[in-house]
Structure formats: structure tokens, C-alpha cells
């Protein structure tokens, strides 16, 4: 494969405007790293594109040579799909322009944007694009898989707010997809991941919002069962303005926390109210009634504060492993398993993340986009986070054991952006009755499966000389 990488390097040299980085070049070591430190790969060539024509030229050269190719926006794929061993990485990190129009409440942004670049630009006009909760996450990977965050209940998934895509397909062509042009592709790109081409531009709807009420608090162990039962019932009738996430974790040894909670297993509640503050007070008071009063913080914060407050909890280069699923109901037995799992967490960064979807995201018909299940309101994400390679087996083993216990109570389905690199067998499960339509769109736009480093939808009659698909980790 290194030979193919060198051939592509030679064919692009002289006309490529961005950076071409090979293993001994200055800057290569930093450029090859992705967010998940578990995924240590050395690509033969990193093509950091400067513009659309760089992307087209690289795709054309790569698809002719059949080299294994990864596409990278923010490099946050938990599965490690944005790099590969010996192959080519098409890196979009220099393509981060954002244009927001206050009057039309619309924005266009490039395929290499991080969430933070979009938030900063749109907030200048007091507008938001609903996205994820960590500002250093790449927008492309997040949106193409669906995109959930603080505003999902109010404004829908990120992909529900996209009105048009421009992409470069496997033969280097530029294709547009929106509600009146290439409708099947437009459907597939909203949830189907990076299977169809490299998105170079998103056209999206924005919403007015510049601040929210944020309330956070910790519930100690004896009360966690009651809290989860309360949350389960309360969220079923909660207003769309309320988002309440709960992380089961070990409380940090932080001075601002009550001493008796530090280093103890807790349920950490984060509540966001997007409406008028006074109207949210009674909901927020009820929701924090099971938190230790000294642990509760409350106030109106800027949208940019909200969007960056979790950034440092998920540093680049740590080791991460995840498994995820949906529940229609949170049965008492499931709550028992969750508490048991909390008591066996072995790292202070590891958490059991629980989110309640519903709201605007659930009001969109399941057939409207390729995104998986919208009907199961409870999303669980087991995210192990540690630093020592020697502890890999212990942390991965913990996630797998907890998942196996919880799995029988789950609804079939999974959010593709919360999957690891060893779960290819669950990809059809993620899409269920949308699967055949996705395969048809994939077969039309990427018959050779050039874009295969993703939660892969394989085209019909895929040529068998495509080389390894590469399992990322675990
Ligand atoms: C710290 C952290 C926080 C997260 N928070 C959230 C959250 O709040 N909500 C949520 O929904 N998800 C969240 N996720 C999951 C996130 O959506 C996925 O990890 C997503 O893939 C990240 O996108 P990226 O562009 O950074 O990834 P990359 O690793 O760059 O790419 C991911 C996939 O998308 C493909 N891809 C990238 N760019 C393009 C493009 N322009 N065109 C076509 N394909 C492309 C890649 O080939 C790869 O298959 C989070 C992940 C992390 C690590």
C-alpha cells in the first residue's frame, strides 16, 4: 500500500495546493493523530486539502489506485475511521469557512468544520445550528450520522436541520443533494454516515438562541435508583424546552464539590432549559430535588459556554471504547444493572451516559431520513476513558460485560456515531427497515465501496479486490 501512497504523492505533486505529508515529513506525526488514542495508525500519505479541486484530484487518484482511503473532518470517530495503516487520509481540517445569514437564518459551512467554528460564527448573529456537546468534535461526521445535543428536543437532530449538501463522489464528480435534486441521496446523507462521498459544503437552517438556563447537580448512591425512576417518568411529559442528561460516574476530587461526594459513585445531572427562565423554574426545581443541595449550580449561561463546558472532559489522545443502545422503557431491572455497573467503574473518566430524546427529533417520521430509530426515547452510551495501554483489556472488558447485561432489555437499533470499530455486524441493525434503500443509494453512488472506512453500507455486488476494510480497535 505504501507504493500506492507514493504513486498518489507523485501524481498530485505540483498541482496540489494543500499539504502532502508522508511518514518522514515535518508535521506528519502531529497530522496522523486522531482523537481516540487507542487508534495508532501510520498512513502512507496525508493529503490536507486546501480547496475543492484538491479533494477532487485526490479522490480521482485514489480511486484509480484502489488504495485504502480514510476521510477526516474532526478526527473524532470513536471507531477510528478517520485514519488507516499505510493508506491515504484525505484531511479536511483546512476547510473551515462558515457563512451565516442573519436575515434568512441560514448558514453554509465547509466539510472540515468543527462544531466550535460553526457556533462562533452563527452566534455573531444570535443564531444556533443544533449540534453536539463538545466543541472540538467534527461537524461532518456528527451531522452525517445524525447529530444529537442540547437542542435536539427543541429543534431536532443536526441532520434534520440540513437543507442541502455538496459532495465529491468516488469518481471525483461534484454532486448536489437537497429536497428537489438527488432526493434519495439527500435522504441517505441524513443519517447514513460518510458512505456516499466527501461532503464539501452543508446548507443548514439556524434558530435564534444565545443563552440557556443551565442547572447541574450530583445525586449520591443511595438516591440514584429513585432519581432514575423519577427521570424516566418525568421526561415522558417534559416540555420540549427541557433537556436532561444523566451521567453515572465517579465524582472528581474537585474542591468545588461537597467533600462527601468526591471520588464516590454519583449520578451527575445536567439540565438545559431553552425557554424563558421563569417558565423553567418549577421543572428544574423538581428535577434537582434528589441532588445534594450543596452540589447544585444554576444560572443563565451563554450558548458558547454551554457548547464548550464539556471540552476538557474528553481530551485528545486518551484511550476510549464505547457501546451504545436504545431503550423504549427503562425497566426497574435495567436501573438495577446500571447501578451495579456504576459501582464497578474503574476510571474517573469513564461514564454511563443516559439521554432522553423524544421532542422535535421524534416528531419527524422514521422514513423521512436514513437516521436510525427516533421512537426509543432512552439512549445509553457506555464510554470508557483511560490512559494506560496496559489497562485496555480491563476497560474494554468492562464495557462489553455491562453491555451484554443490558442488551436483552434494549430495543434493536443503535446510533452509528456511538459505535466502536468492531461492530460492523450491527450496522444493518442501526438502519433496520431503511437498510435496503440505503444499500440501493450506496450502490448507485459508490458501487466500488471507495468510501468504506465508516459504519459501512456495502454496495450490492461489491468488487472483491477492495483489500482490507480494517477493523479499528478492540
Ligand atoms: C468528544 C466527543 C463528543 C461527541 N459528542 C457527540 C454529541 O454530542 N452528539 C453526537 O451526535 N455525537 C457525538 N459524538 C460522536 C460524533 O458524532 C462522531 O464521533 C463523529 O463521527 C465525529 O465526527 P468527526 O468529523 O469529528 O469524525 P471523523 O473521525 O473525522 O469522521 C467520522 C466519519 O465521518 C466521515 N467523514 C468525515 N468528514 C466527512 C465529510 N466531509 N464527508 C463525508 N464523510 C466524512 C469519516 O470518513 C468517518 O467515517 C462525539 C464524539 C466525541 C469523540
DSSP conformation letters of 4-38: HHHHHHHHHTTT--SEEE-TTSTTHHHHH--S-TT
User: pLDDT confidence of 466, banded at 50, 70, 90?
Assistant: low
Which is it for strands 162-168 and 69-72: parallel, antiparallel or unpaired? unpaired
The predicted-structure confidence for 308-339, as pLDDT tens digits, reads as follows: 999 999 999 999 999 999 999 999 999 999 99
User: pLDDT confidence of 463, banded at 50, 70, 90?
Assistant: confident
* 95 touches ligand 1 (CB under 6 Å): no
pLDDT of residue 464: 66
Is residue 414 scored above 80 in pLDDT? Answer: yes
175-189, 204-218, 379-393, 456-470: the lowest-pLDDT one: 456-470
The predicted-structure confidence for 30-70, as pLDDT tens digits, reads as follows: 999 999 999 999 999 999 999 999 999 999 999 999 899 99
The predicted-structure confidence for 64-107, as pLDDT tens digits, reads as follows: 998 999 999 999 999 999 999 999 999 999 999 999 999 999 99
Q: What's the gap in Å between 139 CA and the centre of ligand 1?
A: 7
pLDDT of residue 462: 83
* 18 touches ligand 1 (CB under 6 Å): no
pTM (whole model) above 0.85: yes
User: pLDDT confidence of 468, banded at 50, 70, 90?
Assistant: very low
* 372 touches ligand 1 (CB under 6 Å): no
C-alpha pair distances (Å), 63 with each of 66, 87, 263, 439, 444: 5, 12, 51, 20, 16
Whose C-alpha lies nearest to ligand 1, atom 33? 141
Task: Provide the β-strand partners of residue 384.
Answer: 321
Residue 405: which H helix or E strand, with range?
helix 392-406
* 81 touches ligand 1 (CB under 6 Å): yes
Separation of alpha carbons 456 and 116, rounded Å: 27
Whose C-alpha lies nearest to ligand 1, atom 8? 132
* 131 touches ligand 1 (CB under 6 Å): no
- The residues, any chain, with a CB within 8 Å of residue 424's CB and separated by 6 or more, are 455, 456, 469, 471
pLDDT of residue 83: 98
* 147 touches ligand 1 (CB under 6 Å): yes
Do 209 and 307 form a contact (C-beta atoms < 8 A)?
A: no
Amino acid at each position: 500500500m505504501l507504493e500506492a501512497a507514493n504513486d498518489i504523492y507523485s501524481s498530485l505533486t505540483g498541482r496540489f495546493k494543500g499539504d502532502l505529508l508522508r511518514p518522514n515529513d515535518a508535521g506528519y506525526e502531529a497530522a496522523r493523530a486522531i482523537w481516540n488514542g487507542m487508534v495508532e495508525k501510520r498512513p502512507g500519505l496525508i493529503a490536507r486539502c486546501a480547496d475543492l479541486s484538491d479533494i477532487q484530484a485526490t479522490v480521482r487518484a485514489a480511486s484509480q489506485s484502489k488504495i485504502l482511503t480514510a476521510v477526516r473532518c474532526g478526527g473524532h470517530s470513536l471507531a477510528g475511521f478517520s485514519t488507516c495503516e499505510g493508506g491515504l487520509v484525505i484531511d479536511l481540517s483546512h476547510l473551515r469557512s462558515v457563512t451565516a445569514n442573519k436575515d434568512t437564518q441560514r448558514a453554509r459551512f465547509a466539510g472540515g468544520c468543527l462544531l466550535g467554528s460553526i457556533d462562533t460564527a452563527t452566534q455573531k448573529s444570535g443564531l444556533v445550528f443544533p449540534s453536539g456537546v463538545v466543541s472540538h468534535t467534527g461537524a461532518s461526521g456528527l451531522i452525517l450520522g445524525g447529530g444529537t445535543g442540547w437542542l435536539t428536543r427543541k429543534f431536532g437532530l443536526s441532520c434534520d436541520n440540513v437543507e442541502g449538501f455538496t459532495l465529491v463522489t468516488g469518481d471525483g464528480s461534484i454532486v448536489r443533494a437537497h429536497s428537489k435534486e438527488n432526493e434519495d441521496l439527500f435522504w441517505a446523507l441524513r443519517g447514513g454516515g460518510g458512505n456516499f462521498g466527501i461532503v464539501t459544503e452543508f446548507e443548514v437552517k439556524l434558530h435564534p438562541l444565545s443563552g440557556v438556563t443551565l442547572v447541574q447537580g450530583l445525586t449520591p448512591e443511595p438516591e440514584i435508583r429513585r432519581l432514575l425512576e423519577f427521570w424516566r417518568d418525568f421526561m415522558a411529559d417534559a416540555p420540549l424546552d427541557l433537556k436532561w442528561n444523566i451521567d453515572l460516574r465517579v465524582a472528581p476530587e474537585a474542591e468545588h464539590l461537597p467533600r462527601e461526594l468526591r471520588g464516590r459513585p454519583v449520578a451527575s445531572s445536567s439540565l438545559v432549559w431553552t425557554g424563558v427562565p421563569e417558565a423553567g423554574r418549577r421543572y428544574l426545581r423538581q428535577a434537582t430535588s434528589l441532588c445534594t443541595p450543596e452540589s447544585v449550580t444554576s444560572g443563565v449561561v451563554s450558548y458558547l459556554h454551554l457548547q464548550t463546558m464539556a471540552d476538557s472532559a474528553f481530551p485528545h489522545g486518551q484511550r476510549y471504547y464505547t457501546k451504545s443502545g436504545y431503550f423504549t422503557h427503562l425497566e426497574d431491572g435495567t436501573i438495577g444493572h446500571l447501578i451495579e455497573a456504576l459501582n464497578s467503574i474503574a476510571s474517573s473518566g469513564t461514564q454511563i451516559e443516559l439521554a432522553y430524546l423524544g421532542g422535535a427529533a421524534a416528531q419527524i417520521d422514521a422514513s423521512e431520513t436514513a437516521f436510525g430509530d427516533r421512537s426509543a426515547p432512552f439512549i445509553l452510551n457506555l464510554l470508557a476513558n483511560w490512559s494506560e495501554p496496559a489497562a485496555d483489556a480491563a476497560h474494554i472488558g468492562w464495557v462489553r460485560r455491562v453491555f451484554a447485561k443490558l442488551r436483552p432489555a434494549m430495543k434493536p437499533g443503535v446510533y452509528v456515531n456511538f459505535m466502536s470499530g468492531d461492530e460492523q455486524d450491527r450496522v444493518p441493525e442501526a438502519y433496520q427497515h431503511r437498510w435496503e434503500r440505503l444499500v440501493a443509494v450506496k450502490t448507485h453512488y459508490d458501487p466500488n465501496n471507495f468510501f468504506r472506512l465508516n459504519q459501512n453500507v456495502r454496495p450490492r455486488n461489491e468488487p472483491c479486490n477492495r483489500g482490507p476494510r480494517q477493523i479499528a480497535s478492540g
